[in-house]
Structure 1
């Protein structure tokens, strides 16, 4: 990774108040942007490059999956699949693309990371310090999606099931948030974080320029359990505000079976060779939803297993675009 200059590093705090920088010193702002763009990552970049990247100052560890372990900082991003034991078909190019998209946005003065809990709440519960929302901005005033990655409630696989999803959904004009939630405490606590994230977005929708109408929830594996739970019972059931239910839930490969009395339209994907969340368990959920009168679209992809993420290079390639079309048709 290109070495960033001392002048850039010392001016880093100005990055997060870009409007002031531009008003007071446009030339300095251009230098900052150029330097940060020179710091774009590649598959040969290391975990240490991510952790120390000035664009990610203050939240770099929340990009990576594990909260409770030290990282081998020499590990290359091309080998990041080794950090994701519940995932498969991890595509380094899409991992790097999602990270560089955030670097580009930050270099343009856009805020990418938002805390969802106050300092007092994080002091009272230190694990809340590991939470937050990453924001991929689409068209101003467009609907938003929240993506909850998987990881067995042991880690959060945003690099594979969060940022690449967000980049693809965002390319189609939508605003996308990726949730970093608490792990190690089970699904109920993680779902509380999703409910809090929804409340945060509804409270701040004007400042982030999104509409609250017709939003969607996306989740993979453990994240799909969270999204489905909110879809079934609403955010208030998990400590959030009584906001409307999503217009669509997008679920990837989960064994989640609980249903509510009024289910939102749901898009479901799974691999035929999934040994963790077998296609048969997904089919049972689809049948239960249809019996309740919910609109459901089901896709089973051959010759792939659990945790395929965006499915690049597999039979599932392109499923995210199809899920966006499903969501669009409901609005």
Structure 2
């Protein structure tokens, strides 16, 4: 019991440090579409296995702003979508730590706390609203409105892919000043994405819509990942659509490794993604 309390205290302190001096943007200042529960702060899960902070019971989605000390010249803003099987959010491992890495590269990052658990429709609404909000605040954060991207992990990868292929379909009723702002991301990165092969015979999810305006993709996965087929079918669908896609399949590494040291895949994808990002943000 004492050990658990110590772990919980460490988590609370780490969250406080991560959020220190960082702005919070509420996605829905008024009513949250389709949400039946009252707004309240996300709940920190008792499960701290693997040294991961897990959030659940998100009813008031937010973006946490991470500003780089030394911005690069791209003026790109990147929304980070953590994974967690649509049940929790691995908020530090696939959120804050990723945002800090992007800051080190000179990019402005925004960590998305989308609705969980088991609220995929709400999560889809949240990511569309997040893209619109950041685009609307481009001047405030010194961003280019044509340089707004996504990076998603596991379920967050599924969410990012959904937003990147369904930008013509609004997931909620247009009713505010953001109505006419595009929810289309300008580039998308999927790191060990999951659930993309829900089509017949483990083919691409039929909910993804491909046209000539689908943004360029960077995809990284591993051969030994249980969800590894998702990377393959997405890359194939993008190739068939003649969309720019860079796919990397590493031999091993499993799933859910983030960018923490000790896993070769975790140490490899950031190097490849950094090169791709530099190239893609110069093209726009």
Q: TM-score, normalised by structure 1?
A: 0.64
C-alpha deviations, 1:282-307, integer Å up to 9, x for none? 21221111011011111112222111
1:125 CA displacement = 4.7
Task: Pick the aligned partner of 1:260 from 187, 209, 212.
Answer: 209
Q: Tell me if the contact between 2:32 and 2:60 (Cα under 8 Å) persists in the aligned partners.
A: no
Number of residue pairs aligned between Structure 1 and Structure 2: 236
- Distance in 2 separating the partners of 1:274 and 1:315: 14
SS at match of 1:205: coil
CA distance in 2, matches of 1:214, 1:124: 34
Which residue of structure 2 aligns with residue 327 of structure 1? 277
Which residue is equivalent to 2:65? 135
Structure 2: segments with no counterpart, 5+ residues: 40-57, 197-203
Equivalence for 1:47:
8
CA distance in 2, matches of 1:130, 1:318: 34
Distance in 1 of aligned mates of 2:100 and 2:162: 25
Higher strand share: 2
SS of residue in 1 equivalent to 2:132: helix
Q: What aligned pairs does 1:63-74 form with structure 2 within 5 A after superposition?
A: none
Change (3 A) 1:299 1:49: same
* 1:318 Cα deviation from its structure 2 partner: 3.6
Higher-helix-fraction structure: 1
2:225 is aligned to 274
Q: Work out the CA distance in 1 between the residues paired with 2:66 and 2:168.
A: 22
> 5+ unaligned residues in a row in structure 1: which ranges?
1-43, 54-95
Distance 2:140 2:77 in 1: 14
Q: Distance between the aligned counterparts of 1:193 and 1:135, measured in 2?
A: 16
The 3-state SS of whatever aligns with 2:272 is helix
Q: Which residue pairs with 1:183 in the alignment?
A: 116
Deviations 1:146-171 (A, max 9, x none): 01000001001111101111111111
Distance 1:120 1:288, change over 3 A: closer
One of 248, 252, 255 as aligned partner of 2:187 = 248
Show the counterpart of 1:126: 38
Secondary structure, aligned partner of 1:299: strand
Verify: 1:295 aligned to 2:244, yes or no. yes
The 1:45/1:140 distance shift into structure 2, 3 A limit, reads farther
- Equivalent pair of 1:247/1:265 in contact (CA under 8 Å): yes
**Would the alpha carbon gap of residues 272 and 140 (structure 1) be closer, same or farther in structure 2, given more than 3 Å must change?**
closer
* Secondary structure at the counterpart of residue 227 of structure 1: helix
User: Aligned partners of 1:328 and 1:99: how far apart in 2?
Assistant: 31
CA shift for structure 1 position 220: 0.8
Q: Which runs of 4+ in 1 moved over 6 A?
A: none
